[in-house]
Amino acid sequence: MSLPNPNRDVRLELAVAIDGERFPSLKAYFGNTDTQIPGTDADVNIVRDAHQGGAAQGWLYIIENALRERDHQLNQVIDEKEALANEKEILTHKVDEQQSDGQELLSRIHGLQDNNAKLNEAYIAQKARAATLDSLVKKGVTIDAGSGGDTNTAMQHPDKFSGDEADSTKRTQAFNNWNNQVQARWNMRPQEFNSEKKKLLYAATLLTGSAATGVAKVIEKINASPDNDVDWPYKTGMALLSHLAGKYATMDLAAAAENKLTKIKQAGKYVNFIDFLTEFTN
């Protein structure tokens, strides 16, 4: 019997010699294995002749069954490996989702903590303010609700100014009185009148008659653009008051008073100042 030639690989010859219908696993093994199989023509003929029957054929069936069992187990291992890989992917996805949910929950917790801290600060501030107001009430101080918390005694709003007085002196006096009261309220209510818009609207709404008609556009423009003073006829409360003063405070009251004083004359027997002095100093 000739020995196998170590330099001759009979894998493909064996694969061709084997009946693939009866021995598919064995044929696939020889056709796909990466391991070299040294052999001779006699070895190949033994496999080819085994198809005719005999002990050799029995051995081929034994080897075929062994290979089938091996392939079956190998396929099971591959299936289990794929199943484990899929399960790992699912678990990884769930872990990622849980981590994301955890981060979101942690962020919400931090947000709630911040809100709680702000609420505590607001509560402490309100509690302190309530204590202050309670103390002021006990002292008899009146708190005007419209003052924004200023602890001033309540003050009346100025009477509305119309500008319809024909007498320039009386009209000037009325305007100056109204003007002073408006500015006084601005100064005594700094929290209430904390913007020029509020000052303008307050002054404009305290006008009536022809004076109100003259500034109607002021209110319209401010209401149309409350946050943009580009279109406002007047940018500040003082600008509006200055405009009204130029229109209604037309009399120089000090000059008028001085003029009246110079025109005062004594009458009767004391028309001469010397006679008056003589009468009352002797």
Task: Write the pLDDT tens digit of every residue in 207-219.
Answer: 999 999 988 888 8
How many domains in the chain?
1
Ranges 6-10, 137-141, 165-169, most confident: 165-169
Q: Is residue 162 part of a domain?
A: no
Residue-wise pLDDT for 160-174, tens only, equals 999 898 888 898 999
Q: How confident is the model at residue 141 (pLDDT cuts 50, 70, 90)?
A: very low
pLDDT of residue 146: 47
Q: SS3 for 163?
A: coil
Task: Determine, yes or no, domain membership for 202.
Answer: yes
Q: Which domain holds residue 203?
A: 168-281
Q: What is the DSSP letter of 153?
A: -
Residue 146 located in a structural domain: no
Asked whether residue 183 is domain-assigned, the answer is yes
pLDDT at position 14 over 90? no
Share of the chain above pLDDT 70, in %: 79
Residue 94, in any domain of the structure: no
The tokens for 21 are: 């219908």
pLDDT band with cut points at 50, 70 and 90 for residue 192: very high
The answer to whether residue 3 is domain-embedded is no
Q: What is the pLDDT of residue 181?
A: 94
Give domain status of residue 213, yes or no: yes
The reported pLDDT for the residue numbered 62 is 79
Highest mean pLDDT among 22-26, 54-58, 59-63, 268-272: 22-26
Q: Is residue 54 part of a domain?
A: no
C-alpha to C-alpha distance for 29 and 74, rounded to whole angstroms? 13
Distances (CA, A) of 224 to 194, 217, 227, 238: 20, 10, 9, 21
pLDDT band for 23, please (50, 70, 90 cuts).
confident
The pLDDT value given to residue 154? 60
Q: Exposure of 40 by Cβ count < 10 A (0-12 exposed, 13-18 middle, 19+ buried)?
A: middle
> Looking at the predicted structure, is the pLDDT value of residue 182 above 90?
yes
Q: At a CB cut-off of 8 Å and minimum separation 6, what does 168 contact?
A: 250, 251
- Assess whether pLDDT exceeds 60 at residue 183: yes
Please report, for the chain, how many H helices and E strands are present, in that order: 11, 2
Q: Which of 264, 190, 203 is nearest to 239 (CA)?
A: 203
Which SS3 state, helix, strand or coil, does residue 89 take?
A: helix
Tokens of 138: 């006990």
